[in-house]
Amino acid sequence: MERGLFTAWNGIRFFTGLVYIFTFAPIAVVVLLSFNDSMFGSFPMTGVGLRWFGELANNEAIVRAFKTSLLLGSLTAVISTAIGVGACIAIVRYDFPGKELVNTLLVAPILVPEVVLGVALLLFLKWLDFSRSFGVLLLGHVILTLPYVVLVVQARLYGIRRVYEEAALSLGANRMQAFLEITMPLLMPAIFAGMLFALTISFDNVTATMFWKSAGLETVPTQIFGMLRNSISPEINALGTVMIVITVGLPLIAGGVVRYFARART
């Protein structure tokens, strides 16, 4: 590589740095402003304090939205992963006619605009007189997250060699035992990743959720959207910081735990 300050590589490095700043500066500003003591959710900073985090905990609507989002996200993650893993095993480990089509069908929702997904499910379920709105949200979030779970788990399952299962089978295990004793433990990190993926997608979704929620039932993002109508209240910044800590912290902790157990085993 050539020396000097104005090399192509330095230019690339500089540009990359700018893109990183572009990516993180706005987020950093939200976190910074959430510690602002001022009455307003914008600059200038008048003092540093945790005041708005306290207000947040006392805001009933936000706490309720938080509970809804957590319950919705957890149920979505469990259901999506449970049905997605089954599908992946069928696709990766079995041969059957129409496999390509099935696979395409399962990941297709990724490329369907969320608005269309939102409209279609809303109209169909209303037509069926299915009016429990948490149920609508749950069904909707399952179909939103299923393709991602399928992609993540499938990629991992292709990497688990079949010979391990065959060894277990030849030693007298039946298929169920081979799966539970061999494949399942090896697949655990992918199942975990799939669940986390589903949880964060559900926790974050607003585009389709706006069609499925009913008046009294808000998730955290739709609650934020509703609050934005007036102006940016300082509570929104605090809520943003809390959400960043949860959605970034959770996967990092989970990653750490997985790595810890992986190390403990070997």
Partner 1 sequence: MAVTGEKARPWILLAPSLAAVTLLLVIPTGFVVAYSFWQRTITGLEVPELNVANWVDVFTDGFYYAILWQSLRYAAITTVACALLGYIPAYFLVHTRFRNKALLILLLLLPFWISYIIRTLSWIHILGANGIVNYALQALGLSDEPKHMLYIEFSVIMGFVHAFLPYMILNIYVSLEGIDKSLVDAARSLGCTGWQAFREVTLPLSLPGLAAGSLLVFVLTGGSYITPMILGGPDNAMFAGIIYETIIVELNWPLGSALSIVLLVVLGSVVVLYTRFMSLSQVYKSFG
Q: How many CB atoms lie within 10 A of CB 210?
A: 16
106 binds partner 1 (CB under 8 A): yes
169 binds partner 1 (CB under 8 A): no
Residues 132-151 interacting with partner 1 (rule: CB under 8 A):
139-140, 142-143, 146, 148, 150-151
Closer residue to partner 1 (CB): 52 or 203: 203
Closer residue to partner 1 (CB): 188 or 210: 210
Whole-number Å distance between alpha carbons of 227 and 229: 5
DSSP 8-class letter at 133: H
- The answer to whether the bond into 185 is cis (omega within 30° of 0) is no
Angle made by CA atoms 102, 130, 112, in degrees to the nearest 5: 35
Closer residue to partner 1 (CB): 42 or 177: 42
262 binds partner 1 (CB under 8 A): no
CB of 262 to partner 1, least distance (A): 16
Which one of residues 21, 61, 63, 116 is an interface residue with partner 1 (CB under 8 A)? 116
Residues 220-239 interacting with partner 1 (rule: CB under 8 A):
220-221, 224-225, 228, 232, 236
Which one of residues 21, 61, 119, 257 is an interface residue with partner 1 (CB under 8 A)? 119
260 binds partner 1 (CB under 8 A): no
| DSSP assignments along 69-125, one per residue | HHHHHHHHHHHHHHHHHHHHHHHHH---TTHHHHHHHHHGGGGS-HHHHHHHHHHHH
The dihedral through the CA atoms of 205, 211, 215, 216 has a sign that is: negative
User: Quick check: 227 and 219 in contact, CB under 8 A?
Assistant: no
Binding track over 38-57 against partner 1, x by CB under 8 A = --x-xxx-------------
Specify the 3-state DSSP secondary structure of 217. coil
6 binds partner 1 (CB under 8 A): no
251 binds partner 1 (CB under 8 A): yes
115 binds partner 1 (CB under 8 A): yes
Residues 148-167 interacting with partner 1 (rule: CB under 8 A):
148, 150-152, 154-155
CB of 123 to partner 1, least distance (A): 6
Beta carbons within 8 Å of 83's beta carbon, 6+ residues apart: 142, 146
